[in-house]
Copies of this chain bind each other. A is one copy, B any other.
C-alpha cells in the first residue's frame, strides 16, 4: 500500500519539498527552536506556488513531523526533536517502497527541478534560452522534409544514432572545434545529460572516485554520484581546474569544462591541459570533457578542446545543441575514444534503443546546408549584445561593488557582491524574487566537504544567465536587484 497518499501531493514540487523537509527534520537540521519558514517565504524562495508548499506542510503535519498553527510559522513536532527518528521511519527516505541502491541514492539526494515562475520581470536562470532566437522556420522546414521522406520501413535505427547526423557532426566538429574524429566514435544522445549518464554507467562503480571541479556542474555530479561513486572535489581558480592537485588523487574519471569552466568561467591553460591528460594516462582514468557552450566566445579566440590535443586517448568529448538551438530538443553527442563506440552503443541500446529519429534528421539537414553555422553566428551576436547589456547594467547599478567572473564566453556570468557576506544570500534571493527578479546562488555549486585552502565563498555570489532575456529586461532586472541589494545591506547595518 502506498503510504504518503491521504492528501496526495498536488505535483512533483510538493513531494520533493515534503521529502526534503522531512529528511531535514529527521536529521535535525532545524535545531531546537524548530521553526520552519512560512509557506509564503518558502514558496518565494523555491519559486513555486504557495499552494505547493502548503500541500507539503499539510502532509508533514498529517504524519506528525510538524505542528501548524494558523498565522504562525510551522514548528517541528516536539516528539520528533526529542526522540530523533519517529517510529516507522527506518531510513531518511522513510516509509516509501523498497528501491535499488541506485533508487535509494536518488531518493536521498534527488536532483532539483522547479517549474520556472511565469510572472517575473527578469529571470536570470542559467540554461534557459529565448524563443525569439530559435530558428523556427529553418527547423520547421527540416522537420517537414524529414517527415515527408518516406523510408522503406519504420524500424529501430542504429543505437549510435543516424549515420547521416553523425557524418554531419564529424564535419562540424572538425570545422568548428578542430576535433578530428571518426563517425565510428560518435554516439548521439538525448542531450548532454544522457551523455553524462552513459559515461557514469559505463565507467563508474559504487565506491569508485571521480574528480569534480569545485565549484562545478551539479547535474554531472548527480549522474556520477547516482552510481555510488564518490566525488573528489578539486578547486578551480581563474584558470579552471587546479590540475597540480591531481598528482596524489587516484580516480576513475575527471569531469571538466576546460573551454569555459562552469560556473566560474576560467579557460584551462595549455600547461594544465597537458597535466590533466598525463594524470589520466597515469591512472588509466577517463576525462569527460563537457564542451557545453564553446560556441559563445566574445573577446577571445576559441580554444581547441582537450580532445584535439596529442595524448587525449582517454578523453570522452561531450557536445550539445541545448545552448545553440534549444534545451527542449534533447540532442547531444559523445565522441568516445576509438574502439569504444560499440560498448557505448550497447549501453544506449538497452537504455532507449536510439534517440528519436526526426530530430536527428532535422539537425543533420541544417548542419549539411550550413544553416546551423549561420544560426550559431547569429545567436552569438545576439548573446554578445545581451552580455554587454548585462555588464553595462551591472556597472551602472553596482560600480565597483561587484566583481564579475567568466564574462569572456558563454551565456552566464558570476557576480560577487563583496559587501554582502554569505549569510545574506538567502535573504537577497528571496527579496529579489519578491521584486520580480529570479537570481540563483553560486554557493550551491560548491562541494560542502572540500577541505581545500580556499573556503566556500565568503560573500554572496550569483550565477546570472542572460540568454533568455532581452536588453530591457536585463536593465530592469539589474535595477530591481540593486534595490534588493541595498535593502539587504541596510538591514545588515541596522
Contacts and interface: CB of A to CB of B under 8 A. Distances in A.
Interface of A: 1-5, 8-12, 15-16, 19, 96-103, 106-107, 110-111, 113, 115-116, 118, 123, 125, 127-132, 134, 136, 139-140, 143-144, 147-148, 150-160, 182, 184, 189-191, 193-194, 197, 201-205, 208, 219, 222-223, 226-227, 284, 313, 326-331, 337-343, 345-347, 349-359, 468
Contact of A155 (B15, B102, B127, B359): B127
Q: Which 9 A-B pairs give the minimum distances between C-beta atoms?
A: A328-B357, A194-B352, A190-B352, A103-B202, A2-B338, A129-B154, A110-B346, A15-B342, A128-B155
Contacts of A223: 350
A134 B147 CA distance: 10
B347 A160 contact: no
Contacts of A358: 143, 328-329, 359
A154 B140 contact: no
Nearest to A115: B158
Contacts of A339: 2-5, 8, 15, 96-97
Contacts of A328: 154-157, 356-358
B357 A356 contact: no
A98 B189 CA distance: 22
Contacts of A153: 116, 123, 128-131, 468
A191 B346 CA distance: 16
A342 B110 contact: yes
Contact of A350 (B99, B111, B159): B111
Contacts of A118: 152
A12 B342 contact: yes
Contacts of A139: 147
Contacts of A134: 154
Contacts of A205: 100-102
Given A96-B340, A100-B204, A342-B19, A154 B128 contact: yes
B341 A15 contact: yes
Contacts of A340: 96-97
Nearest to A208: B100
